[in-house]
Amino acid sequence: MGVVIENSVWELNPSIFIFIFVCCFFSIFLYPHASSSNLNRTATIFDHGISSSFLRFQRNFLFVYSLASVVEGLWSVLGEFELASYGFGRDKMIMSLCYGYTTALFAAPFLGMLSDLIGHKKVCLIFCILHFFVGVWKKITQQPSIFMTSICLSMANTIFSFSFEAWMVTQHEKQGHRLDSLNDTYWLMTFFESACFIASQMFANWLVGNNMEKNSAPSSAVMFLAIICFIFLTRGWTEAPTTTSFKEYSLSFYECIFGDKRIWLLTWAQTCLHFSIGIFWILWAPTVVADGREVQLGLIFTCFLGSRMLGSTVFPCLTSGPSSLRIEDCLVFAYIILALLLSIVAYDYQEIGVLVTVFSLFHACVGFILPSLARLRTMYVPNELRGGMMGLSLAPANAAILLSVGGYYRTVGNAALMAFGAFGFGSDGCQSLLLYALGSKKINNVDDKMQARGKRSQRNTSTTIEC
């Protein structure tokens, strides 16, 4: 007598998506009423008295940034699917990851400094060109080279990580907008990026359909979106040419980044964050489907991004509401929570429901941390060195991920790598505590900093960068 084993697919409750949407809706639209009771609140996008020039600037940036996010999201969603459609196995996929992280390891510091020297707008244009080139390459070749596509997409992803934000912050200050209004742009960046990644997944599924063989529709869509993004960057974005020489930039970079303990600690905190998030994105799907469990990964992926959107809406409530908290205080608790969440997964085997809950909370915390770190960069890092600092923080993270991928391919298990990710967030918490301890020397009020920067720009007629 044979034994029949029934396989059941674990499905996410659809009400979860409704819950996340409703929470995001109320977080956004109830925030002005909550902050209106605070007499010292900062300007927000909901203020009717906010300048129209800033709104035009913000909307222009968010539109282009959303286009770039859709392009990034399409390749992220289609990457493993395309490799499988070309007949590549696990070894080739691991090799593709190694090519990408090796490229990012060496390209990130170079692209960051290049962005500061030649202008962030030009580097953002390179982002569009790289995606357009990959789209053309995949259309004209039957089986595109993993080496070439991994290098181009890795460089484009590196540029996406810092150049758009660096351009926005630099032009925001040059146009004379209030510095505290950057807070809304930061969390809206995280919110729109997550929403665009969800839209990218839906768009990619629609383009591919039921065709499991080679499909050129996604490549055509990426090429079209890259051209649109390029046009808007060329016509809608302005940037004054820099007059700083490489020697002056190098001296200022060494003095500010390596000489200021606060910036140094912030750099390492960002490095640990990049490493832990990278480890998570490599391992979350193998962890969920362990032991042959069948799940709908696409819906779970959407739940993660929705949680990240919800987490980003918490940022303005905590930092600009009636009970405004110091950003360093919030980050310490957020990092500790992230370390505990990954430790749960690394310590013991979990059911799918527990894993999805833990990973969703993980992304909610990440959604809060990303705009928080962007705000700290504005408080500590000179705009002239912002791209170089962010590129420098990516290099050690990519090196650590590269070593982890090699270990994962050989003997290191999922639990051990999750433990490394938890250790990374624990290190983030230590860095934040040290940053908090050194924060007494910083400029506490962003309006005071705005005035300080204005005075500095008026008296600084030379090309030397002040730290």
- Lowest-confidence region among 20-29, 406-415, 430-439: 430-439
Angle (nearest 5°) at CA 41 between 38 and 43: 140
How many CA atoms lie within 13 Å of 356's alpha carbon, on the beta-carbon side? 20
State residue 294 phi and psi, 5-degree precision.
-105, 125
What is the residue whose two structure tokens read 């925001």? Answer: 172
**What is d(CA 69, CA 189) in angstroms, rounded to the nearest whole number?**
10
**How far is it, in rounded angstroms, from Cα 65 to Cα 227?**
14
Beta-strand ranges (E) seen in 294-436 are 294-295
Q: Which amino acid is at 438?
A: L
* Pairing outcome for strands 294-295 and 9-10: parallel
Q: Answer for the pair 73, 120: CB distance below 8 angstroms, yes or no.
A: no
Largest CA distance in the chain: 90
Contact (CB, 8 A) for 174 and 240:
yes
- Go through 302-312 and write b for each residue having 16 or more CB atoms within 10 A of its CB, e for each that does not: bbbbbbbbbbb
pLDDT of residue 36: 43
CATH number, domain 57-459: 1.20.1250.20
Query: Of residues 452 and 348, which shows the higher confidence score?
Result: 348
CA distance 164 to 19: 31
Give the whole-number percent of the chain exceeding pLDDT 90: 25
* Measured distance CA(302)–CA(289) in Å, rounded: 16
Over residues 315-352, the pLDDT tens digits come to 887 776 555 677 877 888 888 888 888 777 776 666 88
Contact call for residues 364 and 309 (beta carbons, < 8 A): no
SS3 228: helix
Please give the structure tokens belonging to residue 176.
């004379």
pLDDT confidence bin for 447, thresholds 50/70/90: very low
pLDDT tens sequence across 420-442: 555 555 555 555 555 555 554 44
Output 254 or 433, whichever has higher pLDDT. 254
C-alpha dihedral (266, 404, 417, 282), degrees to nearest 10? 90
Query: CA 233, CA 227: separation in Å to the nearest integer?
Result: 10
Asked if residue 347 lies in contact with residue 279, where contact means CB atoms within 8 angstroms, the answer is no
Secondary structure (DSSP) of 341-370? HHHHHHHS---HHHHHHHHHHHHHHHHHHH
pLDDT of residue 418: 59
* pLDDT: which is higher, 278 or 230: 230
The residue with tokens 């908090």 is 436
| Number of other residues whose CB lies within 10 A of the CB of residue 290 | 13
Q: Determine the Cα–Cα distance for residues 156 and 134; give it in Å rounded to an integer.
A: 10
Contacts of 13 (CB under 8 A, 6+ apart): none
Task: Give the lowest-confidence range in 83-87, 128-132, 167-171, 220-224.
Answer: 83-87
Write out the two tokens for 147.
């080496």
72-86, 165-179, 270-284, 293-307: least confidently modelled range:
72-86
* Torsion of Cα atoms, 49 then 52 then 54 then 58, to 10°: 110
CA distance 174 to 119: 14
Considering only CA atoms, which of 108, 180, 57 is closest in space to residue 388? 108
Give the closest residue to 65 by CA, choosing from 212, 155, 181, 193. Answer: 193
The total of other beta-carbon atoms located within 10 Å of residue 410's CB is: 7
Least confident of 76-85, 129-138, 294-303: 76-85
Tracing tokens 């997944």 back to the chain, one arrives at: 201
Which residues, 6 or more positions from 404, have their beta carbon under 8 angstroms from its beta carbon? 279, 282, 412, 417, 420
* Among the listed residues 52, 158, 175, 61, the one whose alpha carbon sits nearest the alpha carbon of residue 102: 158
Helix, strand, coil percent values for the chain (each to nearest 5): 80, 0, 20
Q: Among all chains, which residue has been given the structure tokens 């007598």?
A: 1
Query: How is 207-218 classified by DSSP, letter by letter?
Result: HHTT--S---HH
- pLDDT score at 428: 54
Tokens of 134: 């990959």
Residue 240 has pLDDT above 80, yes or no: no
What distance in Å separates the CA atoms of residue 308 and residue 306, rounded to the nearest whole number?
Answer: 5
Distance, CA of 183 to chain centre = 16
pLDDT at 433: 52
